[in-house]
Amino acid sequence: MGGPLPRLGRLLRRAAAAAAGAPPGRSGLCSAAPAAADPPRSQGAAQFQLKRQQQPTFGFLFDIDGVLVRGKTPIPAARKAFQKLLSSQGEFRVPVVFVTNAGNCLRQKKADQLSHILGVPISQDQVMMSHSPLRMFKRFHDKCVLVSGQGPLLDIAKHLGFCQPITIDKLRETYPLLDVVDHDRRPKELLRPPVELPKIEAIILFGEPVRWETNLQLIIDVLLTSGYPGKPYPRETYPHIPVLACNMDLMWASEAQSPRFGHGTFMVCLENIYKKITGKELKYEALMGKPSELTYHYAEYLIRTQAAAKQWKNPIQTLYAIGDNLMTDIYGANLYNRYLEENRSRRGSKARFQAKAAGGTRSTTVSQEEELENMWENELSSAVATSCRSVLVCTGVYNPHTEVPFDARESITETAFHGHRDFRFDPALVEPDHIVPDVDAAVDLIFQLENFAPKEPCRTA
């Protein structure tokens, strides 16, 4: 993970001296059991007696790659963890949502994969892909949109509500002269396109493509021609047509020993090529997937929906986000926690600003952030949770053995920020609330933090 982070450095040094039985807090050891897993008996059994309750007031947000699997290989702790989450009847004791930055398949396929890997029944309503929030962008659903990525892109786009999606392959087929990097794929005959495509009014980046040079070239063509890629570049094409991007992961954990390029790396290429050609910044209409607040707001909505379906009366107050990537999972959970903490004050401030605007003392122009927030609330209703806690596991991208310098100032200057350029670097946002060895230890820790032990026994494999 590039250079170490200053706060995290202090955290790890503090954790190195902690006993395995230390009380839960911002600590933990990746090389040992989680701090809360084995409380010291001397403090009295009553203090650590788990409260038996049927209705939880918390929910789980699980990352997938690096937490439950590496590539197609299950992480051993995953099955053990999920046996604890199911009742003897095979039903989830607590609300669970799988929040992945993957975007190359439909939710049902991912649910089927997880059911097979974990040995538990997973519904598509428990799965949130990086592109899931696109359901809310209804103003683009009737427009002709270019989709980039891999997998069944047309099926995914139509499932999300888009009526006129066009793939890069279709664009290349219609305008074969645009893709000439690979000499073997250049057209043998110079033919005019039989049918002109309609104007492309938006671009949706679902995930990293297979042939980067083709996608980069054709996306740039669409941007620089305002949606008419078969025509020459005009002199002025700024601002460009809307771009919506899903999944900002620079790196992700597969079976390889080192992290692999993610969609965030492709986006870095696209942004820099556009700026090199035009001298201007590529702008995004919206960024989805972790660490976007929009993603966590949507995930909370899915958690609430599960609780309502089970007719649980107690509101879900705490979300626990379990992940392996500091720059996406931990950053995103902490960012959403900050949003929840500031929610009430922001609402009060917004009401005061709106009152001033109505009196003519403020411009009525609505910022993109306000527009997105209004969309969240209209589509998903207001956030109910009061906190979102981040739990870092050591089975994926995060390397617990990174050397930590003792000089925090040196750490700041040496840290390579792997997050997207539109998210500012804040050391506080990449400091996890807890560090544990794996997902099974995370479930144990959270059950103890919540004093949660349902009346019926857990499911046995």
Work out the pLDDT band at 347, boundaries 50, 70, 90.
low
Q: How does pLDDT run across 223-279, given as a tens digit for each residue?
A: 999 999 989 998 888 899 999 999 988 887 778 888 889 999 999 999 999 999 999
Q: Which residues pair with 458 in a beta bridge?
A: 87
Place of tokens 């989830």: 92
Return the beta strands (E) in 37-158 as ranges: 58-62, 69-70, 73-74, 96-99, 127-128, 144-148
Close Cβ partners of 84 (under 8 Å, ≥ 6 residues apart): 440, 443, 444, 447, 458
Q: Chain-wide mean pLDDT for the chain?
A: 81
Close Cβ partners of 180 (under 8 Å, ≥ 6 residues apart): 186
Q: What totals of helices (H) and strands (E) does the chain contain, helices first?
A: 12, 15
What is the total residue count of the chain? 461
Close Cβ partners of 59 (under 8 Å, ≥ 6 residues apart): 94, 95, 96, 97, 303, 306, 307, 316, 318, 319, 320
The confidence score (pLDDT) of residue 5 equals 43
Work out the pLDDT band at 421, boundaries 50, 70, 90.
confident
Burial level of 31, CB count in 10 A (0-12/13-18/19+)? exposed
| pLDDT(62) > 70 | yes
The confidence score (pLDDT) of residue 327 equals 85
The confidence score (pLDDT) of residue 368 equals 52
> pTM of the prediction?
0.78
- Which of the residue ranges 14-23, 129-138, 142-151, 424-433 would you say has the lowest mean pLDDT? 14-23
Q: How is 354-382 classified by DSSP, letter by letter? A: HHHHHTTSS--PPPHHHHHHHHHHHHH--
Asked if 162 contacts 140 with a C-beta cutoff of 8 angstroms, the reply is yes
Asked if 316 contacts 95 with a C-beta cutoff of 8 angstroms, the reply is yes
The confidence score (pLDDT) of residue 228 equals 94
323, containing H or E segment: strand 318-323
Work out the pLDDT band at 461, boundaries 50, 70, 90.
low
